Structure 1
């Protein structure tokens, strides 16, 4: 066979070998995937309408951008969330978006992703350590202040109020509580602060227990709407319909309760927007573009 023909055949074999590279494989020139990005989304719980909305926003935006999302539900368990994130690392996702159950407990999982060179974005709640390329959330301190100022305007200076706290260790609980307490310091008397773990059933039972020893209350601030709605049921059962209840998140059930005149107000976050922004930021980062380390989502007071 002539030399030129042999050379041509060798060249064709080489080209065929290059074309067999699988979709999504890393390009040796750029180190970036050639196929669609796959992002892991670890949520604290899907037993809460707020995080369901966040999930839906993220998945909707990912579909629009041609990205894949693997969503996992920690079910409010820090241990399960750690295992979920380790599974995402094993799947070699391109980036992990985390809504921490606990801002301290999630640190080891964030660091595991760091060690695997998988970038991390946190949403709604922060991680207290570890490398995070961007944190996307509402200003929870400002939201807590907004709730405190509005409750003060309703019940008047010196009134007795109750504060229902979220999951201990979560940044959202800590920051909302800080803002609320700064707003009402010296203005309202917080007769008790108790944890109900951002859960409606616990909000109901904790409020029932509080009412056994504190009938003379004029207002309740719950650090999320699920607890607020549980507290509302306890107040109704006790015949205390004039107590002003302010929640946080503006979930559909809470907004409906405000419209009915049962809840006084809720602080509107925009979870679907958070999810969308998290996916947009993930894509920008994976494409090598600069992203902002903190992205704030605006708040709004929803009232009667």
Structure 2
């Protein structure tokens, strides 16, 4: 199936008629596989909405799509793109923010002209969102932390390296969850150093710096990477250098990272997002707002802890979200739940 086009995407052969809603969609990156999967889920949900709307004689949606790109350039691009959508007077904007703070002013501009904005994956600081959907990022870090704690002797200090990205809320929450789990598990740890990476280029750079700063085998116990976009490159760099003694905990559920777990290649846990259902949740919330239906303001899509023990239960990025099950390691919350968590109605 072909999901993408350069500018305007009309799904399910829906004619661009006045009664259809014009939905502006701003994606962050098409270089981070998890974000590509989120886009697939969003567009598949739009197609489902259009098919149902056609059957029921209701308004459908026409998507006007733009992609920001990575790094500082991507942030600037998305500011411009959001203002372009405001100028086009779209009915609603769905945005995956490249930066929590950078879109504050454009969000306020949308508020001023009455265009509702739904953010997903990341939050926007400043202005008023109509709805917010994201993965349970604190849970993602916490699941990683409690699993790592279960692998380490209680009296041993964990020598820890963080590969983080402090510019967006999701990755900050993952670090907070990871460290909170270690503390709640009463595991002593020392953060040796932090690095920044969220995509492959940054990950390769971080791997080189880690190997330079900690050249001796056994000098690092655990590396926590906030996503697979950068984390996979870190694993590749460490593996090439023969640093198999390091355990890696990551977040996202990239198929390559899941395979690393399967074959025992450094990564021991990856808290996987349900990227497709997350994108679909954002589109569903937007359509509910357009049609006057009730939808929660803030809701979290659960994440799934992929380990060698749970591989058989994980369906992949596009879901469906599995049933609840008992975690096969010690936990203060021994049952994993696949329910959407409403934070604010």
Q: Is 1:205 the counterpart of 2:225 in the alignment?
A: no
Moved more, 109-118 or 52-61: 109-118
Contact 1:266 1:302 in 2 (8 A): yes
Please list every run of at least 4 consecutive aligned residues from structure 1 whose deviation after the TM superposition is greater than 3 angstroms: none
| TM-superposed deviation, 1:155 | 4.1
- Rate the CA distance shift 1:269–1:201 in 2: closer, same or farther, 3 A: same
> Structure 1 stretches of 5 or more lacking a match?
1-21, 25-34
**Partner residue of 2:96?**
99
Select the residue among 240, 244, 253 that pairs with 2:256: 253
Contact 1:155 1:218 in 2 (8 A): no
Q: Is 1:172 the counterpart of 2:175 in the alignment?
A: no
> Structure 2 stretches of 5 or more lacking a match?
1-15, 51-60, 309-345
| TM-superposed deviation, 1:159 | 2.2
The one-character-per-residue Cα deviations of 1:254-283 (angstroms, maximum 9, x if unpaired) are: 222222221212101111101111111111
Select the residue among 133, 137, 141 that pairs with 1:136: 133
Equivalences for residues 108-257 of structure 1 within 5 A: 108-156=105-153, 157-166=156-165, 168-185=166-183, 187-196=188-197, 198-214=198-214, 215=216, 216-257=219-260
Distance 2:255 2:138 in 1: 23
Contact 1:204 1:230 in 2 (8 A): yes
**Partner residue of 1:286?**
290
Count of aligned pairs: 271
Contact 1:205 1:234 in 2 (8 A): no
Secondary structure of 2:257 counterpart = helix
Secondary structure of 2:300 counterpart = strand
Distance 1:69 1:146 in 2: 36
Distance 1:162 1:59 in 2: 37
| TM-superposed deviation, 1:132 | 0.6
Distance 2:133 2:244 in 1: 37
RMSD (Å) for aligned C-alpha atoms:
1.6
**Partner residue of 1:45?**
29
**Partner residue of 2:338?**
none
| TM-superposed deviation, 1:296 | 1.1
Distance 1:23 1:98 in 2: 24
Secondary structure of 1:40 counterpart = strand
**Partner residue of 1:89?**
86
**Partner residue of 1:298?**
302
TM-score w.r.t. length of structure 2: 0.75
Secondary structure of 2:280 counterpart = helix
**Partner residue of 2:46?**
62
The one-character-per-residue Cα deviations of 1:184-239 (angstroms, maximum 9, x if unpaired) are: 2452222111111x112211221221222223111111000122211111211221
- Rate the CA distance shift 1:23–1:252 in 2: closer, same or farther, 3 A: same
Distance 2:180 2:49 in 1: 42
- Answer with 1 or 2: which has the greater Rg: 1
Distance 2:164 2:298 in 1: 25
